[in-house]
Amino acid sequence: MQKEQINALYHKYKFYIFPAVIGISSLILIAFVIYPQIMKLLDDNNLEQNIAKRSQFLEVKAEELEMLDEDELTNRVNLATGILPPDRDFGNVIEVLQRLTGSLGFTLISVQLGQTTSGRKTDATGFVTKVELIGPQAVLGRLINDIENGPRIMKIQGIELSSNPISGAASVTLSLDVFYSGLPKTLGNLDAPLPKLSSKEEELISKLARSYSPPSTQEAESSPRGKLNPFE
Amino acid sequence: MQGLSINLIPAELGAEELRRKKFIRVQIFGISAILLLAFLASVTISLRILQQQDIRREQERLSEVESRVTQLKNREASLFVLKNRLATASRFLETPSKQVIIFNLVNSLLPSSIAANSMVVDRSGNISVSAATSDSAALDSFLDSLVSKETNQDKVSQVVVESLSRARDGTFRVNFKVVPK
Protein backbone atom coordinates (compact mmCIF):
# COMPACT_ATOMS: atom_id res chain seq x y z
CA MET A 1 0.00 0.00 0.00
CA GLN A 2 2.73 2.39 0.91
CA LYS A 3 4.60 1.65 -2.30
CA GLU A 4 1.49 2.28 -4.31
CA GLN A 5 0.93 5.52 -2.46
CA ILE A 6 4.50 6.64 -3.23
CA ASN A 7 4.10 5.72 -6.87
CA ALA A 8 0.84 7.61 -7.07
CA LEU A 9 2.42 10.63 -5.39
CA TYR A 10 5.40 10.51 -7.74
CA HIS A 11 3.16 10.12 -10.76
CA LYS A 12 1.11 13.09 -9.65
CA TYR A 13 4.06 15.39 -8.91
CA LYS A 14 6.74 13.95 -11.22
CA PHE A 15 7.05 17.25 -13.09
CA TYR A 16 8.31 18.79 -9.84
CA ILE A 17 10.09 15.87 -8.16
CA PHE A 18 12.30 14.84 -11.08
CA PRO A 19 13.67 18.36 -11.88
CA ALA A 20 14.19 18.94 -8.14
CA VAL A 21 16.25 15.75 -7.81
CA ILE A 22 18.25 16.69 -10.93
CA GLY A 23 18.76 20.21 -9.60
CA ILE A 24 19.90 19.06 -6.17
CA SER A 25 22.25 16.48 -7.69
CA SER A 26 23.71 19.12 -9.97
CA LEU A 27 24.19 21.52 -7.09
CA ILE A 28 25.91 18.81 -5.05
CA LEU A 29 28.19 17.95 -7.96
CA ILE A 30 29.04 21.60 -8.52
CA ALA A 31 29.44 22.54 -4.86
CA PHE A 32 31.38 19.51 -3.67
CA VAL A 33 33.28 18.36 -6.72
CA ILE A 34 33.58 20.82 -9.60
CA TYR A 35 33.99 24.12 -7.75
CA PRO A 36 36.53 22.88 -5.15
CA GLN A 37 38.54 21.11 -7.85
CA ILE A 38 38.66 24.24 -10.01
CA MET A 39 39.76 26.39 -7.05
CA LYS A 40 42.43 23.83 -6.16
CA LEU A 41 43.54 23.79 -9.80
CA LEU A 42 44.02 27.56 -9.76
CA ASP A 43 45.84 27.55 -6.41
CA ASP A 44 48.13 24.73 -7.40
CA ASN A 45 48.81 26.45 -10.69
CA ASN A 46 50.24 29.38 -8.71
CA LEU A 47 52.14 26.95 -6.50
CA GLU A 48 53.60 25.22 -9.55
CA GLN A 49 54.68 28.55 -11.02
CA ASN A 50 56.32 29.58 -7.75
CA ILE A 51 58.18 26.28 -7.51
CA ALA A 52 59.33 26.60 -11.12
CA LYS A 53 60.46 30.21 -10.53
CA ARG A 54 62.39 29.22 -7.40
CA SER A 55 63.98 26.29 -9.23
CA GLN A 56 65.10 28.57 -12.01
CA PHE A 57 66.54 31.10 -9.56
CA LEU A 58 68.43 28.38 -7.68
CA GLU A 59 69.61 26.82 -10.94
CA VAL A 60 71.19 30.13 -11.98
CA LYS A 61 72.67 30.58 -8.51
CA ALA A 62 74.13 27.06 -8.54
CA GLU A 63 75.70 27.64 -11.95
CA GLU A 64 77.24 30.94 -10.82
CA LEU A 65 78.67 29.27 -7.71
CA GLU A 66 80.02 26.33 -9.71
CA MET A 67 81.78 28.70 -12.10
CA LEU A 68 83.76 30.37 -9.29
CA ASP A 69 87.39 29.37 -8.96
CA GLU A 70 87.72 28.24 -5.35
CA ASP A 71 91.44 29.09 -5.06
CA GLU A 72 91.02 32.55 -6.52
CA LEU A 73 88.07 33.20 -4.24
CA THR A 74 90.07 32.09 -1.20
CA ASN A 75 92.94 34.40 -2.21
CA ARG A 76 90.57 37.31 -2.60
CA VAL A 77 88.97 36.65 0.78
CA ASN A 78 92.42 36.45 2.39
CA LEU A 79 93.40 39.78 0.80
CA ALA A 80 90.15 41.41 1.86
CA THR A 81 90.34 40.12 5.43
CA GLY A 82 93.99 41.18 5.47
CA ILE A 83 93.18 44.84 4.90
CA LEU A 84 90.22 44.76 7.29
CA PRO A 85 90.60 41.83 9.66
CA PRO A 86 87.80 40.61 11.93
CA ASP A 87 89.81 41.37 15.06
CA ARG A 88 92.56 43.75 16.19
CA ASP A 89 95.48 41.54 15.12
CA PHE A 90 98.17 43.73 16.70
CA GLY A 91 100.90 41.56 15.23
CA ASN A 92 99.72 42.32 11.72
CA VAL A 93 99.69 46.08 12.49
CA ILE A 94 103.30 46.02 13.66
CA GLU A 95 104.38 43.85 10.73
CA VAL A 96 102.73 46.16 8.21
CA LEU A 97 104.25 49.27 9.82
CA GLN A 98 107.69 47.68 9.90
CA ARG A 99 107.41 46.71 6.24
CA LEU A 100 106.21 50.14 5.10
CA THR A 101 108.69 52.13 7.16
CA GLY A 102 111.60 49.82 6.42
CA SER A 103 111.07 50.01 2.66
CA LEU A 104 111.55 53.80 2.73
CA GLY A 105 114.53 53.86 5.07
CA PHE A 106 112.67 54.74 8.25
CA THR A 107 113.47 53.16 11.60
CA LEU A 108 110.53 52.27 13.78
CA ILE A 109 111.26 53.41 17.34
CA SER A 110 108.04 52.53 19.10
CA VAL A 111 104.44 51.52 18.54
CA GLN A 112 101.86 52.29 21.20
CA LEU A 113 98.45 50.68 20.95
CA GLY A 114 95.64 52.61 22.50
CA GLN A 115 91.93 53.03 22.99
CA THR A 116 89.07 52.12 20.74
CA THR A 117 87.50 54.53 18.34
CA SER A 118 84.71 54.13 15.82
CA GLY A 119 85.03 54.26 12.07
CA ARG A 120 83.43 56.78 9.83
CA LYS A 121 79.77 55.80 9.50
CA THR A 122 80.69 52.13 9.04
CA ASP A 123 80.42 49.14 11.38
CA ALA A 124 84.17 49.03 11.64
CA THR A 125 85.88 49.65 14.97
CA GLY A 126 89.28 51.19 15.30
CA PHE A 127 91.96 51.61 17.86
CA VAL A 128 94.44 54.43 18.21
CA THR A 129 98.06 53.61 17.48
CA LYS A 130 100.95 55.99 18.07
CA VAL A 131 104.04 55.33 15.99
CA GLU A 132 107.41 56.97 16.53
CA LEU A 133 110.01 56.74 13.82
CA ILE A 134 113.11 58.38 12.46
CA GLY A 135 113.97 58.70 8.83
CA PRO A 136 114.48 60.90 5.78
CA GLN A 137 112.05 63.82 5.74
CA ALA A 138 112.15 63.88 1.94
CA VAL A 139 110.13 60.66 1.68
CA LEU A 140 107.83 61.25 4.64
CA GLY A 141 104.99 62.25 2.30
CA ARG A 142 105.37 58.91 0.48
CA LEU A 143 105.36 57.01 3.75
CA ILE A 144 102.18 58.72 4.86
CA ASN A 145 100.48 57.93 1.57
CA ASP A 146 101.70 54.32 1.72
CA ILE A 147 100.25 53.96 5.20
CA GLU A 148 96.91 55.44 4.13
CA ASN A 149 96.74 53.16 1.06
CA GLY A 150 98.52 50.20 2.54
CA PRO A 151 97.65 46.56 3.12
CA ARG A 152 95.75 47.39 6.30
CA ILE A 153 93.10 50.10 6.77
CA MET A 154 94.83 52.82 8.76
CA LYS A 155 93.89 56.47 8.80
CA ILE A 156 96.32 59.14 9.90
CA GLN A 157 94.80 61.38 12.54
CA GLY A 158 97.85 63.32 13.62
CA ILE A 159 101.40 64.04 12.52
CA GLU A 160 104.22 65.51 14.62
CA LEU A 161 107.41 66.17 12.78
CA SER A 162 110.59 67.70 13.96
CA SER A 163 113.43 67.78 11.53
CA ASN A 164 117.11 68.38 11.40
CA PRO A 165 117.62 70.58 8.34
CA ILE A 166 121.34 69.77 8.18
CA SER A 167 121.06 65.99 8.10
CA GLY A 168 117.63 65.92 6.47
CA ALA A 169 116.47 63.38 9.03
CA ALA A 170 113.16 63.78 10.75
CA SER A 171 111.75 62.49 13.97
CA VAL A 172 108.11 61.71 13.36
CA THR A 173 105.21 60.70 15.58
CA LEU A 174 102.15 59.49 13.73
CA SER A 175 98.75 58.99 15.34
CA LEU A 176 96.83 56.37 13.43
CA ASP A 177 93.36 54.94 13.68
CA VAL A 178 93.70 51.27 12.76
CA PHE A 179 90.46 49.56 11.82
CA TYR A 180 88.99 46.12 12.03
CA SER A 181 85.48 44.78 11.56
CA GLY A 182 83.75 41.62 12.74
CA LEU A 183 82.52 39.17 10.16
CA PRO A 184 78.89 39.58 9.01
CA LYS A 185 76.38 37.67 11.12
CA THR A 186 74.58 36.12 8.17
CA LEU A 187 76.58 34.55 5.38
CA GLY A 188 73.79 34.19 2.88
CA ASN A 189 70.92 31.76 2.69
CA LEU A 190 69.30 29.60 0.04
CA ASP A 191 66.95 32.26 -1.28
CA ALA A 192 69.35 35.20 -1.06
CA PRO A 193 70.86 36.32 -4.37
CA LEU A 194 74.63 36.19 -4.63
CA PRO A 195 76.35 39.50 -3.82
CA LYS A 196 77.91 41.22 -6.80
CA LEU A 197 81.06 43.30 -6.49
CA SER A 198 80.82 46.87 -7.75
CA SER A 199 83.42 48.16 -10.21
CA LYS A 200 85.09 50.09 -7.38
CA GLU A 201 85.34 46.93 -5.29
CA GLU A 202 86.72 44.92 -8.22
CA GLU A 203 89.30 47.63 -8.77
CA LEU A 204 90.27 47.57 -5.11
CA ILE A 205 90.72 43.80 -4.97
CA SER A 206 92.73 43.81 -8.21
CA LYS A 207 94.96 46.55 -6.81
CA LEU A 208 95.46 44.57 -3.62
CA ALA A 209 96.27 41.43 -5.59
CA ARG A 210 98.85 43.32 -7.65
CA SER A 211 100.44 45.07 -4.68
CA TYR A 212 100.28 42.58 -1.86
CA SER A 213 100.27 38.87 -1.35
CA PRO A 214 97.67 37.67 1.15
CA PRO A 215 98.88 37.30 4.77
CA SER A 216 98.63 33.49 4.77
CA THR A 217 101.07 33.12 1.88
CA GLN A 218 103.33 36.03 2.76
CA GLU A 219 106.96 35.29 3.50
CA ALA A 220 108.58 37.14 6.36
CA GLU A 221 110.06 40.10 4.54
CA SER A 222 110.02 42.37 7.54
CA SER A 223 112.95 42.80 9.82
CA PRO A 224 112.94 40.63 12.97
CA ARG A 225 110.85 41.99 15.79
CA GLY A 226 113.38 41.33 18.51
CA LYS A 227 116.82 39.92 19.28
CA LEU A 228 117.57 36.48 17.93
CA ASN A 229 118.94 35.48 21.32
CA PRO A 230 117.20 37.48 24.05
CA PHE A 231 119.73 36.36 26.67
CA GLU A 232 122.66 38.16 25.01
CA MET B 1 -17.27 9.99 -47.56
CA GLN B 2 -14.23 12.31 -47.52
CA GLY B 3 -12.62 14.37 -44.65
CA LEU B 4 -14.56 12.93 -41.84
CA SER B 5 -12.48 11.73 -38.91
CA ILE B 6 -13.78 10.72 -35.61
CA ASN B 7 -11.44 10.48 -32.67
CA LEU B 8 -12.67 7.71 -30.51
CA ILE B 9 -9.76 8.03 -28.01
CA PRO B 10 -11.00 9.63 -24.79
CA ALA B 11 -9.77 13.23 -24.14
CA GLU B 12 -8.05 12.23 -20.87
CA LEU B 13 -5.85 9.73 -22.68
CA GLY B 14 -4.78 12.42 -25.18
CA ALA B 15 -3.87 14.79 -22.42
CA GLU B 16 -2.04 11.97 -20.63
CA GLU B 17 -0.05 11.26 -23.78
CA LEU B 18 0.92 14.91 -24.12
CA ARG B 19 1.98 14.98 -20.50
CA ARG B 20 4.04 11.86 -20.97
CA LYS B 21 5.88 13.32 -23.96
CA LYS B 22 6.53 16.50 -22.04
CA PHE B 23 7.96 14.50 -19.14
CA ILE B 24 10.22 12.56 -21.49
CA ARG B 25 11.64 15.86 -22.71
CA VAL B 26 12.22 16.94 -19.08
CA GLN B 27 13.93 13.60 -18.35
CA ILE B 28 16.20 13.91 -21.38
CA PHE B 29 17.17 17.45 -20.42
CA GLY B 30 17.78 16.50 -16.77
CA ILE B 31 19.85 13.44 -17.57
CA SER B 32 21.90 15.38 -20.15
CA ALA B 33 22.61 18.04 -17.54
CA ILE B 34 23.73 15.43 -15.01
CA LEU B 35 25.90 13.67 -17.59
CA LEU B 36 27.48 16.99 -18.58
CA LEU B 37 28.24 17.86 -15.01
CA ALA B 38 29.63 14.40 -14.39
CA PHE B 39 31.86 14.82 -17.43
CA LEU B 40 33.03 18.22 -16.18
CA ALA B 41 33.76 16.76 -12.76
CA SER B 42 35.81 13.95 -14.26
CA VAL B 43 37.75 16.38 -16.45
CA THR B 44 38.62 18.62 -13.47
CA ILE B 45 39.66 15.61 -11.42
CA SER B 46 41.88 14.36 -14.26
CA LEU B 47 43.45 17.80 -14.64
CA ARG B 48 44.14 17.87 -10.92
CA ILE B 49 45.83 14.47 -11.10
CA LEU B 50 48.04 15.63 -13.98
CA GLN B 51 48.81 18.86 -12.16
CA GLN B 52 49.82 16.93 -9.04
CA GLN B 53 52.24 14.89 -11.13
CA ASP B 54 53.75 18.09 -12.58
CA ILE B 55 54.07 19.62 -9.12
CA ARG B 56 55.78 16.47 -7.83
CA ARG B 57 58.24 16.61 -10.72
CA GLU B 58 58.95 20.32 -10.10
CA GLN B 59 59.47 19.65 -6.41
CA GLU B 60 61.96 16.89 -7.19
CA ARG B 61 63.85 19.25 -9.50
CA LEU B 62 63.76 21.91 -6.78
CA SER B 63 65.13 19.51 -4.16
CA GLU B 64 67.96 18.51 -6.47
CA VAL B 65 68.97 22.11 -7.20
CA GLU B 66 68.60 23.07 -3.51
CA SER B 67 71.06 20.34 -2.57
CA ARG B 68 73.50 21.60 -5.28
CA VAL B 69 73.37 25.11 -3.81
CA THR B 70 73.68 23.80 -0.24
CA GLN B 71 76.85 21.90 -1.17
CA LEU B 72 78.35 25.17 -2.37
CA LYS B 73 77.41 27.19 0.71
CA ASN B 74 81.09 27.72 1.64
CA ARG B 75 81.67 29.56 -1.61
CA GLU B 76 78.55 31.60 -0.98
CA ALA B 77 79.78 32.47 2.53
CA SER B 78 83.17 33.49 1.09
CA LEU B 79 81.43 35.79 -1.38
CA PHE B 80 79.45 37.42 1.42
CA VAL B 81 82.60 37.97 3.48
CA LEU B 82 84.44 39.34 0.45
CA LYS B 83 81.64 41.75 -0.39
CA ASN B 84 81.33 42.86 3.23
CA ARG B 85 85.09 43.53 3.58
CA LEU B 86 85.42 45.33 0.26
CA ALA B 87 82.31 47.46 0.76
CA THR B 88 83.56 48.67 4.15
CA ALA B 89 87.16 49.09 2.96
CA SER B 90 86.05 51.08 -0.10
CA ARG B 91 84.34 53.61 2.15
CA PHE B 92 87.61 54.13 4.04
CA LEU B 93 89.73 54.35 0.94
CA GLU B 94 87.41 56.69 -0.99
CA THR B 95 89.11 59.77 0.37
CA PRO B 96 92.34 60.23 2.27
CA SER B 97 92.10 61.72 5.74
CA LYS B 98 91.97 65.50 6.10
CA GLN B 99 95.29 65.40 7.91
CA VAL B 100 97.04 63.74 4.99
CA ILE B 101 95.46 66.10 2.48
CA ILE B 102 96.60 69.22 4.32
CA PHE B 103 100.06 67.79 5.08
CA ASN B 104 100.62 66.86 1.44
CA LEU B 105 99.42 70.28 0.31
CA VAL B 106 101.73 72.22 2.63
CA ASN B 107 104.60 69.86 1.87
CA SER B 108 104.14 70.27 -1.87
CA LEU B 109 103.96 74.07 -1.71
CA LEU B 110 106.94 74.39 0.63
CA PRO B 111 109.94 75.50 -1.44
CA SER B 112 113.37 74.01 -0.81
CA SER B 113 114.68 77.36 0.42
CA ILE B 114 112.40 77.17 3.44
CA ALA B 115 113.31 74.59 6.09
CA ALA B 116 110.38 73.29 8.10
CA ASN B 117 111.78 72.60 11.58
CA SER B 118 108.56 71.19 12.87
CA MET B 119 105.08 70.38 11.65
CA VAL B 120 102.18 69.32 13.79
CA VAL B 121 98.89 68.17 12.31
CA ASP B 122 96.17 67.69 14.89
CA ARG B 123 92.98 65.64 14.84
CA SER B 124 90.98 68.52 13.38
CA GLY B 125 93.36 68.71 10.43
CA ASN B 126 94.91 72.02 11.48
CA ILE B 127 98.61 72.13 10.68
CA SER B 128 101.09 74.22 12.65
CA VAL B 129 104.44 74.78 11.02
CA SER B 130 107.60 76.25 12.40
CA ALA B 131 110.00 77.17 9.60
CA ALA B 132 113.10 79.15 8.91
CA THR B 133 114.48 80.78 5.78
CA SER B 134 116.81 83.51 4.69
CA ASP B 135 114.81 84.13 1.53
CA SER B 136 111.98 86.54 2.38
CA ALA B 137 110.65 86.49 -1.17
CA ALA B 138 110.29 82.70 -1.02
CA LEU B 139 108.51 83.00 2.31
CA ASP B 140 106.17 85.63 0.87
CA SER B 141 105.45 83.51 -2.17
CA PHE B 142 104.88 80.44 -0.02
CA LEU B 143 102.36 82.20 2.22
CA ASP B 144 100.63 83.61 -0.87
CA SER B 145 100.35 80.18 -2.42
CA LEU B 146 98.77 78.87 0.78
CA VAL B 147 96.15 81.58 0.63
CA SER B 148 95.44 81.61 -3.11
CA LYS B 149 92.63 79.33 -4.28
CA GLU B 150 94.48 78.60 -7.52
CA THR B 151 97.41 77.03 -5.70
CA ASN B 152 95.84 75.77 -2.50
CA GLN B 153 93.29 73.60 -4.46
CA ASP B 154 90.56 75.35 -2.48
CA LYS B 155 91.46 73.22 0.54
CA VAL B 156 92.55 76.02 2.87
CA SER B 157 90.15 78.04 4.92
CA GLN B 158 92.58 80.19 6.84
CA VAL B 159 96.29 80.85 7.25
CA VAL B 160 97.32 82.42 10.54
CA VAL B 161 100.85 83.70 10.98
CA GLU B 162 101.38 83.36 14.72
CA SER B 163 104.84 84.80 14.83
CA LEU B 164 107.44 86.16 12.48
CA SER B 165 110.89 87.26 13.49
CA ARG B 166 114.19 88.03 11.88
CA ALA B 167 117.47 87.05 13.47
CA ARG B 168 120.64 89.06 13.24
CA ASP B 169 122.01 86.72 10.57
CA GLY B 170 119.02 87.59 8.37
CA THR B 171 117.18 84.35 8.94
CA PHE B 172 113.42 84.66 9.12
CA ARG B 173 111.68 82.41 11.61
CA VAL B 174 107.96 81.95 11.19
CA ASN B 175 105.29 80.01 13.00
CA PHE B 176 102.03 79.71 11.15
CA LYS B 177 98.88 77.67 11.25
CA VAL B 178 96.83 76.44 8.30
CA VAL B 179 93.19 75.67 8.90
CA PRO B 180 91.65 73.37 6.27
CA LYS B 181 88.16 73.67 4.84
* Lowest mean pLDDT across A55-64, A103-112, A117-126: A117-126
Mean pLDDT of A93-104: 91
DSSP assignment string, chain A: -HHHHHHHHHHHHHHHHHHHHHHHHHHHHIIIIIHHHHHHHHHHHHHHHHHHHHHHHHHHHHHHHHHS-HHHHHHHHHHHHHHS-SS--HHHHHHHHHHHHHHTT-EEEEEEEEEEEE-TTSS-EEEEEEEEEEEEGGGHHHHHHHHHTSSS-EEEEEEEEEE-TTT-EEEEEEEEEEEE-PPPS----TTSPPP---HHHHHHHHHHHHH---GGG----SPPSS-SSTT-
- Cβ–Cβ gap B37/A30 under 8 Å: yes
Mean pLDDT of A52-65: 95
B44 → closest Cβ in A37, A48, A184: A37
Q: Which residue in chain A has the smallest CA separation from B38?
A: A29
The distance of Cα A133 from the centroid of its chain, to the nearest Å, equals 36
Higher per-residue confidence, A209 vs A216: A209
pTM: 0.73
Q: Which pLDDT does position A219 carry in this prediction?
A: 44
- The pLDDT of residue A102 is above 80: yes
Q: pLDDT class for A173, splitting at 50, 70, 90? A: very high
ipTM of the complex: 0.75
Q: pLDDT class for A221, splitting at 50, 70, 90? A: very low
- Cβ–Cβ gap B76/A65 under 8 Å: yes
A122 → closest Cβ in B37, B88, B121: B88
Q: Which residue in chain A has the smallest CA separation from B44?
A: A37
Q: pLDDT class for A43, splitting at 50, 70, 90? A: very high
Contacts of A58 in chain B (CB under 8 A): 62, 65-66, 68-69
B91 → closest Cβ in A51, A122, A145: A122
State the 10-residue block means of pLDDT for chain B, 181 residues long.
69 82 91 94 95 95 95 92 90 85 91 90 92 90 90 89 90 92 85
Q: Which residue in chain B has the smallest CA separation from A182?
A: B85
Q: Which residue in chain A has the smallest CA separation from B120?
A: A160
B82 → closest Cβ in A14, A77, A175: A77
Q: Which pLDDT does position A121 carry in this prediction?
A: 58
